[in-house]
């Protein structure tokens, strides 16, 4: 079986795919982790830290047995995923649109990270996480919960990181988090075209498609210096695809604030749904860090009404 993370691989989709495959192999189910594309710089940083190999990159899973991690939407899988046999899902997002013809094993919990669920699956199966994999998993939880400062954080995430840090032999978890966040904030030499796609997800709302990317950064200085280029790239993207909106969230993970860049056929509708106001393709979202919890639900409500 293939354990597959979502498009635009982040820490969680990489680390949980590796960790879950390793668990399955321990309990006698043959499994291989796979990614849909190159992992982002923060995920690569974790791989290097753990001294682990990058999983294979796949664009097709037709005819395969597949277990999904960190997503439950067809749109975030490979184009041919409907031709695969989906055996299970581990996820912590809102329930997506995947349905199956046969019963499917679901581990979908409202916690901060899929890796937290995988950590508890190890417990369920009475297995111990390997040291390097524990390092990956704790990095994924730190990333997804913004080091426990994001609103998706639960006690289960904190407990998992405590247990994983012990196994991984990491004494200074705060130092680990700092180094990891610096790795993802290094965007000096990254072209705007790449930045707008880095963590982009496409959301379906009342028949419209909204493309929403997010950059999580230790400060917004460099990002804001590239604002004009990034807006131009969003404009280009919007012209190529039939999106309702192309949005990039610039999230300051120290101040816990977001500035959004937007190209849209109705930017006011989007900004108003989030209690904000657009000026020069930009709107401010003070106190917002979580796309899944502080943005998507409000947009969904506005589009559904």
Q: For binding to Mg ion (CB under 5 A), which residues are involved?
A: 10, 12-13, 70, 114, 144
Q: CB-wise, 13 or 281, nearer to Mg ion?
A: 13
| Cβ atoms of 170 and 176 closer than 8 Å | yes
Distance CA 36, CA 25 (A): 21
Indicate the residue among 95 and 206 with the shorter CB distance to Mg ion.
Answer: 95
Nearer to Mg ion, 214 or 267 (CB): 214
End-to-end CA distance of the chain: 41
Task: For Mg ion, give the closer residue by CB, 73 or 144.
Answer: 144
**How far apart are alpha carbons 151 and 295 in whole angstroms?**
12
CB of residue 211 vs Mg ion: minimum separation in angstroms?
Answer: 15
Reduced to 3 states, what is the DSSP secondary structure of residue 40? coil
CA 237, CA 227: separation in Å to the nearest integer?
A: 15
CA distance 73 to 80: 13
Least Å distance, CB 181 to Mg ion, is: 13
Q: Is residue 91 a contact partner of residue 70, using CB atoms and an 8 Å limit?
A: yes
The least CB distance from residue 305 to Mg ion, in Å, is 27
- Could you tell me if 142 and 177 are in contact, meaning their C-beta atoms sit under 8 angstroms apart? yes
* Nearer of residues 196 and 267 to Mg ion, judged by Cβ: 196
- Residue 303 phi/psi, 5-degree rounding, is -75, -30
Least separation in angstroms between CB 146 and Mg ion? 9
CB 257 within 8 A of CB 276: no
Q: Which residues contact 44 (CB under 8 A, 6 or more apart)?
A: 54
289 vs 249: CA distance, rounded Å: 9
Min separation Cβ 182 and Mg ion, Å: 17
Q: How far is the CB of 298 from Mg ion (least distance, A)?
A: 18
| Choice between 10 and 73, CB closer to Mg ion | 10
Using CA of residue 289, residue 290, residue 293, residue 297, what is the dihedral sign? positive
Pairwise CA distance, residues 76 & 35, whole Å: 12
Q: What does residue 5 show for φ and ψ, rounded to 5 degrees?
A: -90, 175
Q: Which is nearer to Mg ion, 13 or 246 (CB)?
A: 13
For the bound state, the minimum distance from the C-beta of residue 24 to Mg ion, rounded and expressed in Å, comes to: 19
Q: Which is nearer to Mg ion, 1 or 108 (CB)?
A: 108
């Amino acid at each position: 079986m293939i354990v597959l993370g979502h498009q635009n691989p982040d820490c969680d989709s990489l680390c949980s795919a590796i960790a879950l495959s390793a668990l399955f192999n321990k309990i006698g189910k043959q499994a291989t982790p796979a990614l849909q594309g190159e992992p982002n710089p923060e995920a690569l940083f974790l791989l290097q830290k753990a001294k682990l190999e990058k999983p294979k990159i796949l664009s097709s899973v037709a005819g395969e047995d597949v277990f999904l991690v960190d997503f439950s939407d067809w749109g975030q899988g490979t184009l041919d995923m409907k031709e695969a046999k989906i055996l299970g899902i581990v996820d912590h997002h809102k329930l997506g649109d995947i349905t199956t013809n046969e019963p499917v094993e679901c581990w979908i919990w409202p916690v901060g990270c899929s890796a937290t669920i995988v950590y508890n699956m190890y417990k369920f199966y009475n297995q111990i996480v390997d040291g390097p994999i524990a390092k990956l998993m704790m990095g994924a939880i730190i990333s997804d919960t913004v080091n426990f400062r994001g609103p998706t954080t639960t006690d289960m995430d904190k407990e998992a990181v405590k247990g994983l840090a012990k196994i991984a032999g990491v004494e200074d978890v705060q130092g680990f988090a700092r180094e990891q966040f610096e790795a993802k904030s290094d965007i000096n030499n990254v072209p705007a075209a790449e930045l707008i796609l880095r963590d982009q997800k496409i959301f379906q709302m009342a028949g419209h498609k909204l493309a929403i990317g997010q950059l999580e950064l230790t400060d917004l200085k460099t990002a804001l210096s590239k604002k004009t280029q990034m807006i131009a790239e969003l404009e280009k993207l919007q012209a190529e695809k039939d999106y309702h909106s192309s949005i990039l969230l610039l999230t300051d993970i120290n101040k816990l604030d977001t500035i959004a860049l937007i190209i849209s056929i109705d930017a006011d509708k989007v900004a108003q749904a989030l209690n904000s106001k657009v000026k020069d393709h930009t709107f401010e979202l003070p106190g917002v860090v979580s796309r899944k919890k502080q943005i998507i639900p409000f947009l969904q409500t506005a589009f559904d009404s």
